[in-house]
Amino acid sequence: MNGLGGLNKSPAGVVIGLVQLGLPTVRTAKDLAAQTARIVELVGKARRNMPGMDLVVFPEYALHGLSMDTAPEIMCRMDGPEVAAFREACRKHAIWGCFSIMEHNPDGNPWNTGIVIDDTGEVALYYRKLHPWVPVEPWEPGNLGIPVIDGPRGVKLALIICHDGMFPEMAHEAAYKGAELMLRTAGYTAPIRKAWRFTNQSNAFCNLMATASVCMCGSDGTFDSMGEAMVCNFDGTIIAHGKTGRVDEIITAEIRPDLIREARTLWGVENNIYQFGHRGYVAVKDGAQDCPYTYMHDLVAGKYRLPWEESVGVTDGTTCGFPAPTRIYKPTEN
C-alpha cells in the first residue's frame, strides 16, 4: 500500500511529505523573514528528496514558534510577503504545500490560519482553526468552516489544526464534505503524544479516510515539540510514523484514494461515515435518518450546556496569563 514511503509510486497514489520542522524562536520581523526563508528552503529539500512527492506539509507554528506572541509586527496577512514566498516556492518546485501562519485580524485577536497552495502557486485552501487550544492559545475562533478541495492528483483534501483533531466532529465534518485525506498540523508537545496517536488513528478509521499529521519538532530552549509525523490508512493502521523525533526529517508515505473510494462504496461492516446517518437499515428501509443526539440539537439552538457546567474551573485564559475577554463572539464576522 505504502510503496516504501512513496519510493515506488502507484499510478493511483498520492505521495505526502510531513516535515518535522525544528522549533524556531521568532520575536521580530527579522526573525520572521529568516524563518520564512528556512521554510522555503525546505520546500526545495522536499522536492529534491523525492521527485515523486505530491504534497509537502509543514506543522502549525512553523513560521512563528510557540511563544503565543500576538505582536502586530510579526502577524501575517494573506497578501503579505510570507504567503507570497510560500506561493513562489510551490510554483518554482511544482509541488503542493501546506503552511501555517498567524493571521492579522483587524477586529480582534489574530487567527491561527492554515493554507494549502497548489503546484502553480495558487492558494487552493484557506482555513482558520476552529478550536484554539484553550486556555493556552489566544487565537480568535475560526469562522471559515472546514473547506474541502480537489487536492494533488484529484484527492479530496481537508485541513484541520492541532486541537481540532481532538473533536470527532471535526473529522466527521471533513469526511461528510467529501475529504479522502485530512491533514492535521500541530505544535503539540510530549504530554499529548499518546492522545495524538490514537486520535489520528480513530479519525481515519471512523470516517474511512486517510489522515496525515505532523507536529513541530525539537526545542527552542523553553518548549519541546515532539515531531510525531503520522500517516494513517483508512482502516486506522499507521503506514508511516516519525517516532525518532529527528528535527527537519521529512516523513513520507503514499496513500491510495482509489482504495478509500472503494471502501466507502463497497464496505458493509464498519462503513461508519454512511451508517451514522442511516441507523439500522437492516430493519427499516434506508435506515433511521433522524438526529437522536441531544448535544447536536442544543448546539444548534445556542444552548449547549453540560450537566456539570457550573463546576468547570477553567473557562478563560487567565491561568495562562491572558486577560479575561469581554467581547462577545459574532459568527458572522469574517
Q: Hey, which residues are catalytic here?
A: 60, 129, 162
How many whole angstroms separate alpha carbon 120 and alpha carbon 93?
9
Q: For residues 107 and 330, is the Cβ–Cβ distance under 8 A?
A: no
CA angle 166, 220, 84 (to 5 degrees): 75
What cell was used for 233? 490508512
H or E stretch at 213: strand 210-215
How many whole angstroms separate alpha carbon 243 and alpha carbon 245?
6
Secondary structure in 3-state letters for 222-248: CCEEECCCEEECCCCCEEEECCCCCCC
**Torsional sign, CA 130, 197, 125, 80:** positive
Residue 126 pairs in a beta bridge with 115
Strands (E) located in 10-137: 14-19, 55-57, 96-103, 111-117, 123-128
